[in-house]
Structure 1
Amino acid sequence: TGPHTPHAQHLTTQLQQKGIHLTITTCDTSNPDQLQQLLNTIPPQHPLTTVIHTAGTNLFAPVSETDAESFSSVTAAKATGAAILHELLLDHESLEHFILFSSGAGAWGSGNQCAYSAANAYLDALATHRQTHGLPGASIAWGPWAGKGMSAGDAAHGYLEKRGILPMEPRLALAAFHRARAQRPNSNLIIADIDWERFAPAFTARRHSPLIEDIPEVRQAAQELEAAASTAKTTTAQPIAASLRERLARLTPSQQNQMLLGLIRTGICTVLGLRNPEGIEHQRAFRDLGFDSLTSAQFSKEIAKETGLPLPPSLVFDYPTPQDCAAHLRTQLVDTDEGEDATLSNGLPQVAHRRPVEDEPIAIIGMACRFPGGVRSADDLWELLTSGKDAIGVFPTDRGWDLDTLYDPDPDHPGTCYTRNGGFLHGAGDFDAEFFDISPREALAMDPQQRLLLETAWETIEHAGINP
C-alpha cells in the first residue's frame, strides 16, 4: 500500500520535524528490476548503510493442503526478495547492516505454516551464508507481535497462546531489537515471549530438542513436572490406579477393553472439544482426529489423571489409535498372561504387552559406507542395487602395483593374478590426514582400513545429525 498505508503521512510529518527524511514507496521485492530501481533512488551523498528486510506473506495450511502456486507465492515475498537483495548488494561497500526479519515458524517449525516456515528457514541460512563470507548479515526469528502484526487476529493469537507462544507488545519487541543489534550486530537470534511450562512439554513430546533444552526455564519446568509426577504417584495417583484395577478385575477381557476405550474416547472429547464419544472410531489414528503435539500432551495428562498411571506426553505417538492406547493401558492395569489371545466383542484381537518404543533393539539413525563400484554413501549403495550396475572394475592404478607383471592367464603361476578385474575401493588412498589431525607420514604408515574406519565413523555421526 506504500504511501496509502494508514498513518503513513503522520509518521512522515513526525520524522521530518526531527530532521529525518523518510520516503515511503511501493515495490515488489520479488522483482529484481523494481528492487534495483528502488536502490537507484538513493542519493550518492547518502550511501546505503542499512537494509532491514521485513516483507512477508503467510498461508495457514499444512503441506498436504498447499499447492505449488501457493507455496511459491508465500516463499517469493520473503525468500526471493531477500535473495535478490543479497545479489544486488554484494559489492556495496557502504553497507553496514543487512538484517532479515525471520520467524519462529522457521526456527522451531510449524506444521500448519509449511511454506512460511521454509521461507524463514531460508532467511536464517542466507544470513549465515553472508556471515561466513565476511558480509554483514543477521537474522532475527520473531515470535508474534501484538497489534496489527502478521499473526493479528484473535484466532491466530489464541492458537499460539495455547501453545505457550505469547504476543509481544511492539515497544518491548523494538527494545529487544535495538539491544540485540547493539550487542550482537551480525548473528542469528530468536526474540519471542515464551511460556516454557506450556511450550516445552508439547514441543519435546516426541523427541529431545537441542534448541531449547539448555534454557534455564525449560530445565526448571522439566524438574517441576518430574517432581509433580513423583508426588502424584505417592498420593492421589496410587489410590486411583488401585480402584481402577479393582473395577477391571471384575470384568472379562472384552469388557475391560470397552471400559478403557470409553475412558479414552471421553478424554479425546475433553481435549478436542468433541461432543459424541461413541462416534469416535477405535481404529482411527489420533493424528486423523486432529491431535498435534499440544493436544497430545494435554490428552496424556487427562488419561493419567483418570487412571493414576504415569504416562508420557508422547502417548498418542507411541500408541497411535484409541484401540492401541486401550491395549497399552490394559497391560498397565491388568495382570495378563503373555500368551493370552482373547477375542473382543468387536471381533478384534486383543493386543497384549505392546513393547514400548524405548525397548526397540535397533534403531538406525545414521549410515556411512564404502563399497566397490564408486559407492561412498548409503544412497550410492541403494542406487547401485536398484540399477543393477556391475561393481567389479579394473585394477586401480594408485596402489603402487606393477600391473604389467601382475597378470598372468595361468592360475598356477606364482606371484601373479589370472584376472584383470576385481572389487576395489577406488580413491581409498585419498585420505585427508590434516582433517583428523594426523601427520602425512603417520597417515602413510596407518592401515588403510583404519583410515576408512575413521572416515566412515565421522560420516555416520554427521549423517545422524549429530555434531561430531
Structure 2
Amino acid sequence: FQGVRAAWRSEGAVYAEVALPEEHRVHAAGFGLHPALLDAAMHTIAFHGREEADAELVLPFAYREVALHASGASALRVRVTPSGPNTMTLELADESGAPVASVGSVVSRPVSPEQFGTAATADRMFRVAWEELPIRPDGTTVEPLPVVDAEDVHRLATTPEASLPDALSLDLGGGVGSGTGDGTADVRELTGRALRVVQAWLAEPSLASSRLLVVTRGAVAVREADPVDPAVAAVWGLMGSAQAENPGRILLLDIDQETIPTALLPAMLAGDQRQLAVRDATCFTRHLTRVVEVPEAGPGGVGSGGTVLVTGGTGALGAVVARHLVAVHGVRSLVLASRNGPEAAGAAELEAELVKAGARVRIVACDVSDRGSVARLLDMAPKDVPLSAVVHTAGVLDDGVLTALTPERMDAVFRPKVDGAFHLHELTRDLDLSAFVLFSSAAGTLGNAGQGNYAAANAYLDALAHQRRAQGLPAVSLAWGMWQQAAGTGMTGRLGDADQRRMTRGGVAPLSPAEGMELFDAALRTAESTVLPIKLDLAALRAQAADGPVPPLLHKLAPPARRAARATTDEELVTGRLAGAPPEEQERILLDMVQQEAARVLGHSAAATLDPDVLFTEIGLDSLMVVELRDRLAKRTALRLPPSFVFDHPTLRMLARQLRDELEKADADASPGGARE
C-alpha cells in the first residue's frame, strides 16, 4: 500500500487519499490515469469489511461503467461504496475535489492460494488464434500484376513509370500434398523462390512505392482440422521477417481455393492487417492469445521408464533440459547428441553431474542433418530401455537482413533445425513415443527483423508439430521467446547489450532457466500442437502502442492507444522545424535528429558523442540496428525510405544530407505541377 496516504470509514463507505511517490509525479502527465495511482486506489477496497481474520480472499475480476473525466492526476481522493456482494463502486477525484474517474462497479471473485502457483505460467504461455475479419466486396477491384521469379521483377522495373502497378502478386501455388515429397527439398525450393523475388523487388527503386501480395495455400491452420504443409509454412516465417523489415509493404494471404479472391483484395490491401487467411470465402486474421486451460501442476508427457534423446544436448538449453528431465521427470536413461558430442565444452562435467543424480547417460557426436547419422543415433538407446521421447533443441543462428540472405545462409540454419526435425519425425513415426518436443522460436510466428532464415526454419517446426498431431503422433512445438543465458553461451547468450536492449524495447524479457522449465512442463500438459512460452512485458508493449504501431499479432494484448488530440511535436516530426530554415540550418537540424535516433538505437545517453563522419560499423551499428534506424528516421520525416537507404549512406552526416535531398524532392512532388513554388 505504498501509494495509500490515509484511509477511513464513514457511513458504510471507505474514503482514502492516495498519491504517487514524489519521484514519479513528473510522469503522471503522460497517462490518462497513472497505473500505479489506480493500483493504489484499488487497494482501498481491501479496507471495506476485511477486519475478520478468516475473511475470504477476493480479487477484482470485472470492471463496468468505467469513465475517465480528467487526465494527468498525481494524487487522488477515493470513495469506495458497496453496491452488491463483492461489488464496489469507485469515485476518484483530484485534490480539489474535481472528478478524475469513476467505476460503476468492480466485481471481485474469491481465489484460493493454490491458484497463484500457475499464475506466472498462464501469463507466459501464448498461442495463435484466428478471428473473422468482417470485410466484404465493395464493388471495386484490384488486380496485382503477377510475378513468378526474380527475372519477372527485373523486366517489370524497366517498363515506363506510368505503367508500373501499385501491387504485385507472387502466387507460390501448390497446397498440402502438392510437393515433391523429397524430404526437405520443397522447403528450400519455396523459400528460395520467395527470397529471390522479394530481394529483386526491394532492389528496384522504380518499385519502391508498390506493395507485394504473397499468396500461399496450406501455410497455416485457421481451424484445428486444417491440413498444413511445413514447407509452405516456412515461407510465412520468412515473409514475416520481411514484413518487419519493410513495414506496410507486404501482405501475406493463405487461401483454400485455386484463384485469388480479387473481390476482397481492395479491403485487404487498405487495412492494417499483414497476415490473412481465407476459408470458405471468409477472411480471418490471427493474433496471440493466452493459453488459459493448463492442466494441474506436475510434470507430464515424458515417459520416465524409457530413454530420452535430446539433440543439441550438450548446448546451453539442451543441458538445462537434460538436468530437468532427470531431476523432475525422473528420467534415468539419456542420449545427448550434439555436433561435438563428448568433445563439447562442459560435456564431461554434465555427464558426471547427471550420472551422480542417478541417470545412465550417453553423449554422442551426431550431425542431425544427415539421415544415416540420425538412424544410427536412434539405435544407441539401450535395448532394455527403448527410446520413449525426443526433445529436439539443436539449432544455429546466422542473422542478417533479408537483402543479405543467401542460399548458403538459409541452408546453414535449415540443416540442424529443419533437416534434423524431419529425420527424427520420419525415423520415429513407428515407435511408441510418449513425447516429441521441438524447440522452436517465437521468431517463426512474430517475424523478427533480421532473422528471416531462422524464422522460416522455426515456422517449419511449428507446422511439422501440427502435421504430426493430425497423423495421431505425439508432438508439441515450443516457440520460445528470449532465454536468459550466460554471456557467450547458447544462441541468445551471444546477443550483445544493444541486441538485448532492442528486444526489451520490443516488449520481450528473458526467461530464466527455472521459468523456462516450468513452461516446458506446462506445454507438455496442454492440448496445443504449438505454444509460445514467452515473457512479454505488456507494459512495454502498451507504451509502444501509445507511441506507435505494434505488430498486428499483438493487438489483442496491447491494443493501439486512443490518445488525446494534440499538436505534433518537433521531437516526433522534424519537417516543421525545417520549414523556412536556411540550407545550413536544415542540415544541422537533420544531423541532430539522425544523431539522436542513432543514439537511441545504440542505447547511448548522449547523441553528441557520436562522430557524424565515422562509418556506422565503427560506432557499433550492425545490420539489424540499421533497419531500426531507418524505421525511426522514416517516422520522424514521414518519408518512405527503401531498405538500402541507410546502408547506401554509411555515416550520420551523409545520411542527414541525403534526408534533406529526399525531403526537398518530396516537397517538390507535392507542389502544384510538381514544381517547387
TM-score tier, shorter chain, comes to 0.5 to 0.7
Correspondence 1:263 to 2:604: no
Correspondence 1:194 to 2:536: yes
The farther-off stretch of 193-202 and 46-55 is: 193-202
Correspondence 1:8 to 2:334: no
Say which one has the larger Rg.
1
Equivalent in 62, 68, 77 of residue 416 of structure 2 = 77
The equivalences for 1:284-363 within 5 A come to: 291-293=626-628, 296-297=631-632, 300=635, 303=636, 315-317=638-640, 322-323=659-660, 326=663, 341-342=675-676
Distance change in 2, residues 1:238/1:211 (3 Å): closer
Secondary structure of 1:60 counterpart: coil
Distance change in 2, residues 1:71/1:18 (3 Å): same
What is the one-letter code of the residue matched to 1:90? R
Equivalent in 162, 168, 172 of residue 511 of structure 2 = 168
Correspondence 1:24 to 2:363: yes
Correspondence 1:125 to 2:440: no
Once superposed, what is the RMSD of the aligned Cα atoms? 4.2
Post-superposition shift, 1:183? Answer: 3.1
**Corresponding position of 2:526:** 183
**Corresponding position of 1:150:** 491
Distance 1:203 1:122 in 2: 30
Deviations 1:245-273 (A, max 9, x none): 7x888x4xxx4787556534421221124
**Corresponding position of 1:418:** none
Post-superposition shift, 1:83? Answer: 0.6
**Corresponding position of 1:98:** 436
Q: Tell me which of the two structures has the higher relative contact order, counting C-alpha pairs closer than 8 angstroms and 6 or more residues apart.
A: 2
Distance 1:206 1:6 in 2: 44
Distance change in 2, residues 1:16/1:341 (3 Å): closer
Secondary structure of 1:131 counterpart: helix
Contact 1:99 / 1:137 at 8 angstroms: preserved in 2? yes
Post-superposition shift, 1:330? Answer: 7.5
Post-superposition shift, 1:162? Answer: 4.3
Post-superposition shift, 1:182? Answer: 2.0
Contact 1:142 / 1:190 at 8 angstroms: preserved in 2? yes
Secondary structure of 1:292 counterpart: helix
Fraction of identical pairs, as percent: 26
Secondary structure of 1:25 counterpart: strand
Secondary structure of 1:22 counterpart: strand
Contact 1:265 / 1:278 at 8 angstroms: preserved in 2? no
Contact 1:145 / 1:170 at 8 angstroms: preserved in 2? yes
Secondary structure of 2:492 counterpart: coil
Post-superposition shift, 1:41? Answer: 1.7
Contact 2:438 / 2:461 at 8 angstroms: preserved in 1? yes
The farther-off stretch of 200-209 and 49-58 is: 200-209
Give the unaligned 5+ runs of structure 1. 281-287, 304-310, 344-468
Secondary structure of 2:391 counterpart: strand
Q: Taking structure 2 as the reference length, what is the TM-score of the superposition?
A: 0.38
Post-superposition shift, 1:62? Answer: 2.3
Secondary structure of 1:49 counterpart: strand
Distance 1:140 1:57 in 2: 16
Secondary structure of 2:364 counterpart: coil
Q: Taking structure 1 as the reference length, what is the TM-score of the superposition?
A: 0.54
Distance change in 2, residues 1:4/1:207 (3 Å): same
Contact 1:102 / 1:120 at 8 angstroms: preserved in 2? yes
Structure with more helix by fraction: 1
Distance 2:578 2:402 in 1: 43
What is the one-letter code of the residue matched to 1:36? A
Structure with more strand by fraction: 2
Post-superposition shift, 1:86? Answer: 0.8
Equivalent in 403, 406, 413 of residue 67 of structure 1 = 406
Distance 1:240 1:112 in 2: 27
Distance 1:207 1:324 in 2: 27
